[in-house]
Amino acid sequence: MASPRLTHAVEAAALDIADDARVVLLEPDPEADFGVLAENDVIVQQNFKPAFDAFASMGMAVVENAEGPADIVHVTLPRSRELARGLIAQAERIAPQGLVIVDGAKTDGIDATLKAVKARVDVGGQVSKAHGRIFWFTSGSAFADWALPLPAPVVDGWITQPGVFSADGPDAGSQALVAALPKTLKGRGADLGGGWGFLTGHLLNLPGVVHVDLVEADKRALDCAVQNVTDDRATLHWADATTWGAPASLDWVVTNPPFHTSRTPDASLGQAFIRSAARLLKPKGQLVMVANRHLPYETTLAASFVHVQELDGDSRFKILHADQPKSPARAGRSSRR
């Protein structure tokens, strides 16, 4: 849920933000309420491309990596504990004598973070609101050891970084997809939501594959993919796969689509990936995807493709194959049935 906590903390008069304070927002939600900063000089750091674009379209200054200096840094707590700690360490670097504000949902671990912060510094104030908490402290140098580790090899030489999807090594669903990949995939294709490059790495080993576009929204994951996928036949794109346009129609799309928005399972993201695949493919093009068994993708697949079948699977995963995308008009008719 978009956080109203900053507004609440200011309006409840607990938190004071001077109009001339330079403010950096680290990884904020575009739907959160930052109206109390209307008079401030604000820079947004966003690594997630759809959110980056949303801030840019609001006319805000948005960067991938904020350096400051700033008077105030607001950290939106991410799910990953290591990334949360890395952002707090970055906030201290950006505003060495300033104020660090940490804002997060209970489900993302704000209470544990507050406890860990309190063990090192005095917390200036805190407010609990909307199933979460916001707290703040004066910046110093208490959290330098929380800095986000650089990308590094984890398993079989694959390079990942804490905070990216499946940071400990290849995802079980993606491994199942690799095992089931039709050897007949030929020509140019895309790996939508390609993460740090595991699927693309394997796709490039198929004899008929001539080019792969890896499309990934998380800049940190993409930066790992840059190190994992060095083959000239791959192009890596920091982009939203639901709106990305390929330079030419594709022969195939492979995907292990995202299935969460924060902690909430969300099948609509995977459904948007399926529609995007249909839009990107040639008339005889094919889609191969993996999904958790319970996720409802079959209706969207049937609305978007002429043929749909389950290639493989077990009690956890299903590997789905679809070919011949329907034209948008036909797809619209079948989805209304």
The answer to whether residue 251 forms part of the interface with ligand SAM (CB under 6 A) is no
The answer to whether residue 320 forms part of the interface with ligand SAM (CB under 6 A) is no
Kindly state the smallest distance separating residue 207's Cβ from ligand SAM, in Å: 21
Query: In this complex, which beta carbon is closest to ligand SAM, that of residue 136 or of residue 165?
Result: 165
Structure tokens at 81: 């504990």
Span from 96-104, 107-115, 202-210, 212-220 in contact with ligand SAM (CB under 6 A):
212-220
The answer to whether residue 218 forms part of the interface with ligand SAM (CB under 6 A) is yes
Helix (H, G, I), strand (E, B) or coil at 269: helix
Query: φ and ψ at 115, to 5 degrees?
Result: -60, -45
- Which conformational region is residue 334 in: left (phi greater than 0), alpha (psi within -120 to 50 degrees), or beta? alpha
Between CA 185 and CA 294 the distance in angstroms is: 27
The answer to whether residue 213 forms part of the interface with ligand SAM (CB under 6 A) is no
The answer to whether residue 216 forms part of the interface with ligand SAM (CB under 6 A) is yes
| Residues ≥6 apart with Cβ < 8 Å to 285 | 249, 250, 251, 252, 253, 323, 324, 325
The answer to whether residue 274 forms part of the interface with ligand SAM (CB under 6 A) is no
Q: Sketch the per residue contact string, 159 through 178, with ligand SAM: x for CB under 6 A, - otherwise.
A: ------xx----x--x----
Query: In this complex, which beta carbon is closest to ligand SAM, that of residue 103 or of residue 240?
Result: 240
Kindly state the smallest distance separating residue 42's Cβ from ligand SAM, in Å: 24
Size of the site for ligand SAM (CB under 6 A): 20
The answer to whether residue 258 forms part of the interface with ligand SAM (CB under 6 A) is yes
Helix axes 110-118, 81-94, angle to 10 degrees: 50
Kindly state the helix (H) or strand (E) to which residue 128 belongs, with its residue range: strand 125-129
Sheet holding 317-325, edge to edge: 234-238, 209-216, 187-192, 250-255, 281-292, 317-325, 305-313
CB 232 within 8 A of CB 62: no
Kindly state the smallest distance separating residue 298's Cβ from ligand SAM, in Å: 18
Span from 39-47, 82-90, 194-202, 316-324 in contact with ligand SAM (CB under 6 A):
194-202
Binding site for ligand SAM (CB under 6 A): 50, 165-166, 171, 174, 193-195, 198-199, 215-218, 221, 240-242, 256, 258
